Each structure stands twice: as structure tokens, then as C-alpha cells.
Amino acid sequence: MKLPELKIGDLTARVPIIQGGMGIGISLHKLAGNVAAQGGIGILSTAQIGFQEENFRRAPVKTNLKAIQTQLDKARAIAKEGILGFNVMVACFRYDDVVKHCVEAGADVIISGAGLPMNLPELVGNAKTKIAPIVSSVKATKIILRNWAKKYNRTADFIVIEGPEGGGHLGFKANQIEEAILGMDDEIIQIIAHVKEYEEKFNISIPVIFAGGVWNRSDIAHYLSLGCSGVQMATRFIGTVECDAPDDFKDRFIQANENDIHLTTSPVGLPGRAIDNKFTEIIKNGLADYKAQDAPKTPLIPIASCLNCLQTKLCDRKTIPYCISEALLNSVEHNTDMGLLFSGTNGYRINEITTVKAIFDELTASF
């Protein structure tokens, strides 16, 4: 059996695999470019995308916006004719400007989650850039597609369903995770059924992609059997030479076992899944006392300066336990003990560093 192509409008990926965006600094030009070169869709994370640039600490917003073009150009040099795009969090600071810069840079696709991307069609306009919301439920799917159809007379070019076994921020409450895992297949089927209504309404095909805990060919076959057109994989690509993260970040995955990966608390207000370390231990042990404080609260991890990563309404320095950007930057700046190491449930299965090509060869082998 050969995997089918993934068609999104006039774009065709030879392999129905999207590499999920991972920030800060995990999926930049090297990883995304090499995934696209292998026939998948490479996604760069816009989260503090310019953190390696000289002026980042002094002017983070300006530096990040400029780095969008720089990183995409570098990825294009690797990907050649491959498909490339960006993951943009709705919760990010100056979301509208970030999306517009991605479009101007020439992104083939934009995938947007960490909130409902209600105005994404307006920001993209008539550009060729394909757009996809990230959803975790039929309810969210209905809200977004109904709004886009009514307000903009358009619909999604594709949909990414993010399940509860993924890494990073999750679209579920912590106490919903176990139940969501058990019921995810039914939710997928319901989402696909709802999307079909908009396929008929707009007379187009809207591929549905599943993300969260996808690891091997068997997983891909399962989600295709449910009616998905492809999958999104992120964590597995951390264990590659081409992943943009430094070696000591990757080593934490090689060293991890299944019991080292747990949910943690994020200032964004969503649960996140990460590898246990000194940082997560401090958060876990101090959270109850922190919540009991009156504002302004004393952070569990001192906050040096604001890097403008989140919308102001989502990040109040008087009430957050730590800075999410500093925690993620520590992870990729050789301070992994005090960094937030986001991982999907399968992160412990990385036991060696391989290549993007080797992973694609394994996942696409005919049988």
C-alpha cells in the first residue's frame, strides 16, 4: 500500500505528512526545509522566530517580523519546490502583523491555533496562501467555519485537528485529557462530517489533518481509515539531525522514559505537555502557594524582561507564575534544566538521532 498524495487546493504534497510547528526554535528553516524536500509540508514556528538575531533582546517584535522572511528564504533554498508555511498562534503579540508578514514573505500555508483564528481570512485576503485553523472539537470547528462563511464568504483550505496526545499547549482542560484520548476517534469522525457540509456549500475539497501522538505508519493508516487526508507530526522530528534545536535539547528526549512526560501549567492558560526537569518540578511544587497569593504575585521563576510574546490581555506580569518565552528560550540556549521541554506523549520513543529522509523512507515504504 502506498500513501496517498495530499491535495490542498492547487498545492500537492507527495506525502500526506505535515511537520507540526514547534517553538521556540525547534522547527525553523532546516527542519521545515528538509521535510518539504522529502515531499511533506514543512512548517516554521513564528514563536520568537528571530531569537538568534543580534537585535532580538533590544527589539524583539521588529526582529521577529523581519526574521519571518529570512527564515522562509533559507527554507526555500533547501526545499526547492516543496511546500512551506508557518504556524502562528492566535495568542501571540501582534497576531495580525505576524500573519500579514507570513503572507508577504510568500508562505504557501498558514496554520493557526492557540485560540480561534476568527479574522484569519481577512488578514490573508486574496493571497494564494492556504489557511487552516487548528481545532480540537466539533464545537470549535462549527464556530470557526460558520463565522468565516458568514463574515468572509469563504471557508478553510484545510483543517488541522489537534488531539490530546500532542506536545506543547493543548486545546483541552487538564481534567479532560484522559476522556478526550478515549473519545478522539469519534470526535474526528464528527468533525469530518461537519466539514463536508462546507465542502458542499463552497464546492471544494477541504482536507482534514490529524495531529497529536502520530508516530508510525500504523498511526497514519489509522487516521486515514477514519477519513483524514493526512497527519501532522512534530515530536518525532525532534530526533533528527535537521531539527533546528541544539543537541543538548535533543539529548533530553533520548534520555527520557515514558514516565518523564507529564502535563504542566502554562501562563497561556492552557495545559502543556513537557519532559520533567528542575523547571517543571519548581512549577509543580510551588503552584498551589502561588495561586493563593494576592496580586501582584511573586513569580515562581523571576521574570527579567518582557519579550512581547503574548497579547497583553493574556499575559499580566502581576499574575503569571513564569515567563513562557524565557522558559522556552532556556530550552534552546543550553539551559535545559530550567527550560520548558515541550513533548508529545511519544517523546520518550526518540532513542537516537536520525535524519528526516530516514523517517520519510520508513513512513512511506510500500507494503
Please tell me the total count of domains within the chain. 2
Please write the tens of the pLDDT for every residue from 253-271: 999 999 999 999 888 778 8
- pLDDT digit string (tens) for 52-77? 999 999 999 999 999 999 999 999 99
d(CA 149, CA 179): 31
If pLDDT is split at 50, 70 and 90, which confidence band does 124 have? very high
DSSP 224-246: HHTT-SEEEE-GGGGGBTT-SS-
pLDDT at 342 over 90: yes
Q: Return the percentage of the chain with pLDDT > 90, whole number.
A: 83
Which residues make Cβ contacts (< 8 Å) with residue 151, sequence separation at least 6? Answer: 121
Same domain, 291 and 211: no
Backbone angles phi, psi at 271, to 5 degrees: -70, 150
> In this structure, are 196 and 318 located in the same domain?
no
CB atoms within 10 A of CB 96: 12
Predicted confidence band at 290 (pLDDT cuts at 50, 70, 90)?
confident
Q: What is the CATH number of the domain that holds 98?
A: 3.20.20.70
What is the spatial distance between Cα 329 and Cα 51, in angstroms, rounded to a whole number?
8
Mean pLDDT, residues 28-41: 99
For residues 20 and 101, membership in a common domain is answered with: yes
Share of the chain above pLDDT 70, in %: 100
Please provide the average confidence, as pLDDT, over all residues in the chain: 95
What does the pLDDT average to over 275-290? 93
Position 367 scores a pLDDT of 61
Burial class (CB in 10 A: 0-12, 13-18, 19+), 94: middle
Domain check: are 173 and 304 in the same one?
no
Q: Are residues 238 and 256 in the same domain?
A: no
Q: Is pLDDT above 90 for 309?
A: no
* Residue 252 pLDDT > 90: yes
At residue 74, the pLDDT reads: 99
Count of CB atoms situated within 10 Å of the CB of 119: 16
Same domain, 252 and 240: no
What is the average pLDDT across 223-249? 99
Q: Which residues, in sequence order, are bridge partners of residue 262?
A: 274
Query: What is the domain range of residue 195?
Result: 6-245+349-364
- Asked if residue 177 is part of any domain, the answer here is yes
- Could you tell me if 27 and 237 are in contact, meaning their C-beta atoms sit under 8 angstroms apart? yes
Contact, 120 vs 144, CB < 8 A? no
Dihedral sign of CA atoms 110, 112, 118, 123 in order: negative
CA angle, residues 359, 363, 364, in degrees to nearest 5? 115
Least confident of 6-15, 215-224, 279-288: 279-288
Domain shared by 68 and 152, yes or no: yes
Residue 179 predicted with pLDDT over 80: yes
User: Cell 503579540 maps to which residue?
Assistant: 93
Interior/surface letters 146-177, b for 16+ CB within 10 angstroms, e for the rest: eebbeeeebbbbbbbbbbbbbbbbbbbeeebe
Phi/psi of residue 279, nearest 5 degrees? -60, -50
The least confident of 6-10, 40-44, 173-177, 194-198 is 173-177
